[in-house]
Structure 1
Amino acid sequence: MNLFHLLQARHAAGKPVRVALIGAGKFGSMFLSQVPHTPGLEVPIIVDLDPDRARDACRSVGWDAERIAATAFTRDAARATRGDIDALVEATGSPAAGIRHARAAIAAGKHIVMVNVEADVLAGPLLSEEARKAGVVYSLAYGDQPALTAELVDWARATGFHVVAAGKGTKYLPAYHDVTPDGVWQHYGLTAGEAQSAGMNPQMFNSFLDGTKSAIEMAAIANATGLDVPTGGLAFPPCGVDDLPHVLRPRGRGGLLEKAGMVEVVSSLERDGRPVFRDLRWGVYVVLEAPNEYAADCFRQYGLKTDASGRYAAMYKPYHLIGLELNISVLSAVLRGEPTGQPLSFRGDVAAVAKRDLRAGEVLDGEGGYTVWGKLMPARASLKVGALPIGLAHRVKLNKAVAHGALVCWSDVEIDADDETIRIRKAMEAAFA
């Protein structure tokens, strides 16, 4: 609880924390909005495919002309790892770009904050290990749900509780898995015109709706905490905050989990579309078990909502502020040398599943698109069947037909074995399987 004090000391010494940002989209813009209000934190370089758009983003979040003039805006990612930069924030959303940028930062001795969860799930355990060997920090992004959930898990374990389940909330119905960008806005209560005028990307927003983003985030949490992944994929049970300890306990104790120590996502909608009472759509949670009767008595004495036995309780954060909270990761890495969550093992993977009958010769369009959605799987099961990771299911051609609802496998697509991203993924599998 001393990050602000440490930052003040750096600021007083005239040694600001200097950060390079790659990707000035929504997450990046939210981070940038906090920079002028955080003395001792500077972002002297911003990398984006459209530097003018990045400059406009800075204006829109309140940067004054002097700060903008003092900032380098460029397309050249190599500039982000030069000079006296302390940390790099990777916020592009592209798995290939994220892996490339992270490895460049690590090689240059810079800390890396990986907003790009897609890249983290594709090869994060290997990147994290490379960072440790190089003496720098590889960190999940505070403000995003994986890091916030990992923090709750760490809190529970450090205080002596058994972690039964952890995850987040979302809006989910089974039919959402087949939604394409053409039909996404009705589920957000928007018209296509309204979304376009607000600069909202339909494929990106669809990845949140069709279950892919939830799968990616739960894989990141499993890999960072050692929690297990449901054998059959996420169940998305309808559940409000008061019912977390009742629903998310092992089946043998009357809950829905196949065992204790799992990741899971709860839905803010009942299966008939009615809203769940006191839903957790925007938040994160951990369900914990009292290790003894004394602790269970304390649950009751201090008003925790528990299951009927009194042994299971939950802690949760109802909201997350995404990029507005990212300073915590940056400052933790630079000032403490600690990540706000990082992958330590390969327990969860996200496989591509056909949204419809796919024909040989079709080109997959990746996360949130028209062809596939991402399903959470135990990593060992994914590797056993040769499932194609969702992070590689973009701009690859099918060499055979795949039925609606079936996994897409490596053997179903044309793959360039010399591709750098594929090489890194295969190296990660070999090292951590």
Structure 2
Amino acid sequence: MTSISTKLAEREEAGRPIQVGIIGAGKFGSMYISQSHHTEGVRLAAIADLESERALNSLKRTGFPEHKYDTTASLSLEEGLKQGKTVITTDSAAMIATPGIDVILEVTGNPAAGVRHVLLCCEHKKHIVMVNVEADVLAGPLLTRKAKEAGIIYSMAYGDQPALINELVDWARTAGFDVVCAGKGTKHLPQYHSSTPDTVWNHYGFTKEQLATGDFNPQMFNSFLDGTKSALEMAAVANSCDLTPPPDGLMFPPCGTHDLPQVLKPESDGGQLHKKGTVEVVSCLEKDGRWVHNDLRWGVYVVIEAPGPYQQECFKQYGLRTDDTGKYASQWKPYHLIGLELGVSVASIMVRGEPTGQCKTWAGDVVATAKRDLKAGEKLDGEGGFMVYGKLMTAEDSLAIEGLPIGLAHGVVLKKDIKQGQGLSWQDVEYSEKSQAVAIRREMEAIYQKEFQAAGRIGTPKASAVNGAH
């Protein structure tokens, strides 16, 4: 990582800045926008947002220099590139198709939009950074394949926790350590699974002044709280690091940094893991609501295993935090800066030709699970809403129950009653194969169904398994 800024400076000096287009001017997008003009060798060529005013407000609010963007929101994409000014457009497809733009940042958080934008990037040969973890978990394993076939790079977003976890896992494996567990911290209690947009702020702790800034969408933040976002992020990590989801979803054990290697080791060695090589999220709250000592609410971690007594002794000599046997040790990063760090992905792609994390396989999935008893005829309101949350499970288990991915659990109508806590199936809802996102997801399922069967990892799914999904 030590040479990236130097190489960016060389691009600046040579008059060949990286031209970036961003889709979505919400919180994450605004954080990147605020930093984009501070980086040598990078230009924010365009912002695509369905509301031009939101993009303009983002530029103003984040302190983007007024002389560097089109304040009228009327300049064409081509003219903006010529003048070196950031252009605002409502047409993301036109931005992706514009010659001269090198990298697209997909920051919509909308799974269907994310799929559409990746396929457009494949068509127009634009690298893409997928900030949209919802789309990545919905169809990332297949989208990654399509991107490689198109000769473009499809990357996770540095600054978001999955990419930072990837970095820690890559460090561990490069140094020759087996990864026992990897994941992140969050604020979670079991009752949060039933949280709704009406109750989210009671749990979150934001002040009225913070909420008044307009940066906080209750349904989006509720998806962080009810476990959906954690499930999505751990599915992304499982898919990119070839790790295994826990057998019955995330446990969210209360755990501080001092206890990571003690808690996150196999049950056979006195820990809480089903086995080695898994993902997990630790909570900053004890079950009774007290704050955990040395909590990791904003950070990421990896737990590694010493290959032998010599390495265990080295762990001890150099002060690593270990379990009581000295066999397991942890490393962590206490914070992540989200969009403020996103430029690392842009630079890695353009300077090194490498993504900052990318799907390797389909290991984890997130299935829509009922928050309450649901009735036939009700229309699902998606992640973070009043009706369902996302539960992490293995891809094999998802295929076995024909699980309805949380990313497509919005706007579809239930065909039957569903009990609280039950995982939903494709068979439980009315859906259209004509939807691009549905078609891509079903194509991915069919591909992996055959591959898993050929590898002996699954048998033929049974309809009866659907009714037992929990």
Amino acid at match of 1:336: R
Q: CA deviation at 1:199?
A: 3.8
Written as runs of structure 1 = structure 2, the 5 A alignment for 1:36-115 is 36-69=37-70, 70-81=85-96, 82-115=98-131
Written as runs of structure 1 = structure 2, the 5 A alignment for 1:19-418 is 19-69=20-70, 70-81=85-96, 82-190=98-206, 195-418=211-434
Amino acid at match of 2:93: A
CA distance in 2, matches of 1:339, 1:432: 23
CA distance in 2, matches of 1:134, 1:332: 19
CA distance in 2, matches of 1:365, 1:429: 23
State percent identity of aligned pairs.
57
CA distance in 2, matches of 1:273, 1:336: 45
CA contact (8 A) 1:356 1:405 kept: yes
SS of the residue 1:19 aligns to:
strand
CA distance in 2, matches of 1:325, 1:33: 11
SS of the residue 1:257 aligns to:
coil
TM-score, structure 1 normalization: 0.98
CA distance in 2, matches of 1:368, 1:196: 20
Q: CA deviation at 1:194?
A: 5.8
SS of the residue 1:85 aligns to:
coil
CA distance in 1, matches of 2:211, 2:223: 15
CA distance in 1, matches of 2:405, 2:163: 22
Q: CA deviation at 1:427?
A: 1.2
SS of the residue 2:50 aligns to:
coil
| Greater RCO structure (CA 8 Å; 6+ sep) | 1
SS of the residue 1:182 aligns to:
coil
Q: CA deviation at 1:100?
A: 0.3
Amino acid at match of 1:27: F
Q: Partner residue of 1:10?
A: 11
Amino acid at match of 2:179: V
Q: CA deviation at 1:200?
A: 1.4
SS of the residue 2:37 aligns to:
helix
CA contact (8 A) 1:185 1:195 kept: no
CA distance in 2, matches of 1:384, 1:20: 39
Amino acid at match of 1:80: M
Distance change in 2, residues 1:192/1:377 (3 Å): farther
CA distance in 2, matches of 1:424, 1:26: 28
CA contact (8 A) 2:37 2:44 kept: no
CA contact (8 A) 2:368 2:390 kept: yes
SS of the residue 2:354 aligns to:
coil
Q: CA deviation at 1:72?
A: 1.5
Q: CA deviation at 1:409?
A: 1.1
CA distance in 2, matches of 1:341, 1:122: 16
Name whichever of 195-204 and 206-215 sits farther off: 195-204
Q: Deviations over 1:108-130 (max 9, x none)?
A: 11110000000000000111111
Q: CA deviation at 1:431?
A: 2.3
Q: CA deviation at 1:387?
A: 1.2
Q: CA deviation at 1:198?
A: 3.4
Amino acid at match of 2:234: M
CA distance in 1, matches of 2:152, 2:231: 28
